[in-house]
């Protein structure tokens, strides 16, 4: 198989078609043109199209976009709405009150409400016009190194056309080796290549564990006369119900154009109840009277899920190695108190581009030359933003009311707070074993009737995400030891994967004759959110890229 493998050489390869890499690639071409440097740039994306795996809130702070494409409006940037006012609402079980002030980091008036799938698609078109070679439908499956294993030389894309047993079928196409002087990784939260690379090159030494949240989002069509026809705010955030104080997270509701609305809910993966089901919490959130009045008479058009890395500054990996740079959510670029990662990811890609140009000017691509990326970041305003949120997610993950003392102290000390360098446990270690008979958490949701229009069940949600995978291929979810699943994990935690997965991928079945339990994987439902790779208490699940061009088919989330 290896003998047939094609090898293509580029100067620079971007891995991932999100805001980080797209902005990086655009900036690189702009700089190369300005400096008269001839450079061959490629970008790969595992989704079938640029944008088909992109999911975000999304309120965009336009600061990086204004720098990258000053005439973005004239160039047709797909803006949904301008934020006309912010609202911060505390939800009790049935009532609610509007918090009289909105934290300064969440003042979004004048920012843009966008759909990340539409926005990245548009950025992709601009990148194409600049001459970047864009390869959607290609998943980076393996990082390539030089002979001494210390320099990244490119990536290998996944083989296509393998059967379930891993043997090539008639339509088999071996993956391609995409070689580059510099590879820029921008895979988003929990990048699978970066996870592998970290085992070889020590990029997390001395760093704090990453903190994650998973979000479920829907775009809902509203009737013409709706809540936003007369509201002052079209950027609404909620806290409180259904999570209470111990689990970080909350809801967001943003107005979109043509009488559509974004409704989403995020929860921190530091939760400790094995019976917790994010999907149930999302439905409870939607059913709360405050939210229900906004989405009344609506119809869900699209749904999806994705994790976001919220750990911030102290969780950032080393940003450069020989032959490679790390950008965006994969490298923890995120302003967590502001709930914003798009503009910092864009800017991280743009700074990476500047470092790459310098490397070409010096004709040197080793870690020392590429460390200029770190120098640029250290001087950049996004570092200041990130420093302000350096202990935020860690404080939010504290149990009980003490978290508000920490958060308050951080608010008034620009992020330092009471403990600077606040540590956390890894999200996979926080589940508490169930006590006998303790499986109660989902009873409340069971009362909700899914009407199939405004309240849809998990499987309908998967359908509305337009997710598809060819069934006859090796399963991209690697479960190390299924005995652990059906014995230890089932006994101790009642198989939390059957609840934390928003795609309903995991199921435990019992053989009627033998009474033996078996793990069943409906991998074709996978939304590529990566929650299972993070939250599994036995680190038993490894998420890998399936054959490129599969997964969700997002167009508006």
With CB under 6 A as the contact rule, which of the stretches 15-23, 25-33, 312-320, 410-418 interacts with ligand FAD?
15-23
Which DSSP symbol is given to 468?
Answer: B
**CA 423 centroid distance within chain:** 22
**CA 283 centroid distance within chain:** 21
Residue (of 485, 435, 462, 477) closest to 554 by Cα position: 462
Question: Cα(498)–Cα(503) distance, rounded to whole angstroms?
Answer: 9
With CB under 6 A as the contact rule, which of the stretches 27-35, 40-48, 289-297, 476-484 interacts with ligand FAD?
40-48
Q: Does 20 bind ligand FAD (CB under 6 A)?
A: yes
Binding-site member from 221, 270, 345, 465 for ligand FAD (CB under 6 A): 345
What residues are paired with 458 via a beta bridge? none
With CB under 6 A as the contact rule, which of the stretches 335-343, 381-389, 498-506, 515-523 interacts with ligand FAD?
335-343
Answer positive or negative: Cα dihedral of 44, 49, 55, 59.
Answer: positive
Question: Cα(539)–Cα(109) distance, rounded to whole angstroms?
Answer: 42
Q: Does 557 bind ligand SF4 (CB under 6 A)?
A: no
- Kindly report the backbone phi and psi dihedral angles of residue 428, in degrees, each rounded to the nearest multiple of 5, phi listed first: -75, -5
Which DSSP symbol is given to 104?
Answer: G
Task: Rounding to the nearest 10 degrees, give the CA dihedral for residues 298, 300, 302, 305.
Answer: 110
Q: Which is nearer to ligand SF4, 52 or 531 (CB)?
A: 531
> Radius of gyration (Cα) for the chain, nearest Å?
23
Binding-site member from 12, 13, 15, 325 for ligand FAD (CB under 6 A): 15
Q: Does 188 bind ligand FAD (CB under 6 A)?
A: yes
Upper half-sphere CA count for residue 327 (Cβ side, 13 Å): 38
The binder of 187, among ligand SF4, ligand FAD, none, by C-beta within 5 to 8 A per type, is ligand FAD
Question: Cα(115)–Cα(123) distance, rounded to whole angstroms?
Answer: 12
Smallest distance, Å, CB 194 to ligand FAD? Answer: 9
The binder of 320, among ligand FAD, ligand SF4, none, by C-beta within 5 to 8 A per type, is none
Residue (of 354, 352, 365, 356) closest to 326 by Cα position: 352
Name residues contacting ligand FAD, limited to 451-480 (CB under 6 A). none
Binding-site member from 62, 124, 154, 191 for ligand FAD (CB under 6 A): 191
Q: Does 19 bind ligand FAD (CB under 6 A)?
A: yes
Smallest distance, Å, CB 335 to ligand FAD? Answer: 8
Task: Rounding to the nearest 10 degrees, give the CA dihedral for residues 18, 19, 22, 23.
Answer: -170
The binder of 431, among ligand SF4, ligand FAD, none, by C-beta within 5 to 8 A per type, is none
Q: Does 376 bind ligand FAD (CB under 6 A)?
A: no
**Using CB under 6 A as the criterion, what x/- string covers residues 54-93 for binding ligand FAD?**
xxxxxxx---------------------------------
Q: Which is nearer to ligand SF4, 120 or 303 (CB)?
A: 303
Q: Parallel, antiparallel, or unpaired: how do β-strands 177-185 and 7-15 relate? A: parallel
Q: Does 139 bind ligand FAD (CB under 6 A)?
A: yes
Smallest distance, Å, CB 8 to ligand SF4? Answer: 29
Q: Does 266 bind ligand SF4 (CB under 6 A)?
A: no
Name residues contacting ligand FAD, limited to 196-225 (CB under 6 A). 215, 217
Question: Which residues does 20 contact at the CB level (< 8 Å), separation at least 6?
Answer: 186, 188, 327, 328, 329, 330, 333, 345, 346, 348, 349
Give the total of residues touching ligand SF4 (CB under 6 A): 13
Are 14 and 25 in contact, with CB atoms under 8 Å apart?
A: yes
Q: Does 334 bind ligand FAD (CB under 6 A)?
A: yes
The binder of 124, among ligand SF4, ligand FAD, none, by C-beta within 5 to 8 A per type, is none
Residue (of 427, 422, 524, 435) closest to 472 by Cα position: 524
With CB under 6 A as the contact rule, which of the stretches 76-84, 92-100, 338-346, 504-512 interacts with ligand FAD?
338-346
Q: Does 269 bind ligand FAD (CB under 6 A)?
A: no
Q: Which is nearer to ligand SF4, 327 or 531 (CB)?
A: 531
Are 346 and 61 in contact, with CB atoms under 8 Å apart?
A: no
Smallest distance, Å, CB 269 to ligand FAD? Answer: 12
Answer positive or negative: Cα dihedral of 16, 22, 23, 29.
Answer: positive
Q: Which is nearer to ligand FAD, 218 or 504 (CB)?
A: 218
The 10 Å Cβ neighbour count of residue 183 is: 28
Question: Which residues does 317 contact at the CB level (< 8 Å), separation at least 6?
Answer: 194, 198, 203, 204, 207, 326, 331, 332
Q: Does 140 bind ligand FAD (CB under 6 A)?
A: yes
Answer positive or negative: Cα dihedral of 223, 229, 231, 232.
Answer: positive
Q: How many residues does the chain have?
A: 557
With CB under 6 A as the contact rule, which of the stretches 49-57, 352-360, 369-377, 489-497 interacts with ligand FAD?
49-57
Q: Does 546 bind ligand FAD (CB under 6 A)?
A: no
**Using CB under 6 A as the criterion, what x/- string covers residues 537-556 for binding ligand SF4?**
------x-------------
Name residues contacting ligand SF4, limited to 474-533 (CB under 6 A). 477, 501-503, 505, 526-532
Q: Does 534 bind ligand SF4 (CB under 6 A)?
A: no
Binding-site member from 339, 370, 428, 527 for ligand FAD (CB under 6 A): 339
DSSP string, 162-206: E-TTS-EEEEEE---EEEEEEEEE---TT-HHHHHHHHHS--STT
Question: Cα(37)–Cα(32) distance, rounded to whole angstroms?
Answer: 5
Q: Does 502 bind ligand FAD (CB under 6 A)?
A: no
Site of interaction with ligand FAD (CB under 6 A)? 15-20, 44-47, 53-60, 116, 139-140, 186-188, 191-193, 215, 217, 264, 266, 306, 308, 328-330, 334, 339-343, 345, 545
Site of interaction with ligand SF4 (CB under 6 A)? 477, 501-503, 505, 526-532, 543
């Amino acid at each position: 198989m290896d003998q047939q493998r094609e090898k293509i050489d580029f100067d620079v390869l971007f891995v991932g078609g999100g805001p980080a890499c797209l902005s990086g690639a655009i900036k690189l071409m702009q700089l190369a043109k300005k400096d008269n440097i001839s450079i061959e740039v490629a970008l790969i994306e595992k989704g079938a199209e640029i944008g088909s795996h992109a999911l975000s809130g999304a309120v965009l702070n336009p600061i990086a976009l204004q720098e990258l494409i000053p005439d973005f409006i004239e160039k047709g940037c797909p803006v949904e709405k301008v934020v006309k006012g912010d609202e911060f609402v505390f939800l009790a079980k049935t009532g609610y009150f509007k918090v009289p002030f909105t934290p300064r980091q969440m003042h979004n008036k004048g920012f843009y409400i966008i759909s990340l799938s539409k926005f990245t698609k548009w950025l992709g078109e601009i990148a194409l016009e600049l001459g970047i070679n864009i390869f959607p439908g290609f998943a980076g499956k393996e990082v390539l190194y030089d002979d001494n294993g210390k320099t990244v030389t490119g990536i290998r894309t996944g083989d296509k056309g393998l059967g379930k047993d891993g043997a090539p079928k008639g339509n088999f196409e071996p993956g391609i080796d995409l070689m580059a002087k510099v590879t820029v990784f921008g895979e988003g939260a929990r990048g699978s290549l970066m996870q592998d690379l970290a085992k070889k090159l020590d990029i997390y030494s001395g760093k704090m564990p990453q903190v994650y949240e998973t979000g479920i989002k829907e775009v809902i069509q509203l009737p013409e006369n709706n809540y936003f026809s007369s509201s002052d705010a079209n950027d609404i955030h909620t806290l409180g119900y259904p999570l209470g104080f111990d689990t970080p997270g909350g809801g967001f509701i943003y107005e979109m154009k043509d009488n559509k609305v974004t409704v989403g809910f995020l929860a921190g993966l530091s939760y400790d109840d094995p019976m917790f089901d994010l999907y149930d919490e999302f439905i409870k959130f939607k059913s709360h009277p405050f939210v229900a009045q906004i989405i009344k008479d609506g119809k869900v058009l699209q749904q999806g899920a994705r994790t976001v890395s919220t750990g911030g500054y102290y969780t950032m990996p080393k940003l450069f190695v020989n032959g490679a740079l790390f950008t965006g959510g994969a490298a923890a670029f995120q302003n967590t108190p502001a709930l914003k990662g798009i503009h910092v990811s864009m800017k991280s890609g743009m700074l990476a581009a500047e470092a790459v140009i310098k490397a070409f000017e010096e004709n040197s691509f080793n870690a020392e030359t590429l460390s200029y990326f770190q120098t640029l970041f250290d001087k950049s305003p996004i570092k200041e933003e990130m420093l302000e949120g350096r202990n935020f997610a860690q404080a939010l993950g504290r149990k009980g009311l003490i978290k508000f003392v920490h958060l308050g102290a951080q608010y008034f000390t620009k992020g330092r707070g009471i403990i600077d360098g606040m540590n956390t446990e890894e999200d996979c270690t926080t589940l508490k074993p169930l006590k006998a008979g303790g499986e109660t958490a989902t009873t409340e949701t069971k009362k909700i009737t899914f009407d199939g229009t405004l309240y849809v069940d998990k499987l309908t949600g998967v359908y509305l995400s337009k997710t598809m995978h060819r069934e006859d291929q090796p399963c991209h979810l690697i479960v190390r030891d299924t005995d652990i699943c059906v014995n230890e994990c089932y006994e101790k935690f009642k198989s939390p994967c059957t609840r934390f997965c928003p795609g309903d991928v995991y199921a435990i079945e019992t053989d009627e004759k033998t009474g033996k339990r078996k793990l069943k994987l409906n991998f074709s439902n996978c939304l590529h959110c990566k929650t299972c790779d993070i939250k599994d208490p036995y680190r038993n699940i490894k998420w890998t890229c399936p054959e490129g061009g599969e997964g969700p088919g997002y167009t508006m989330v």
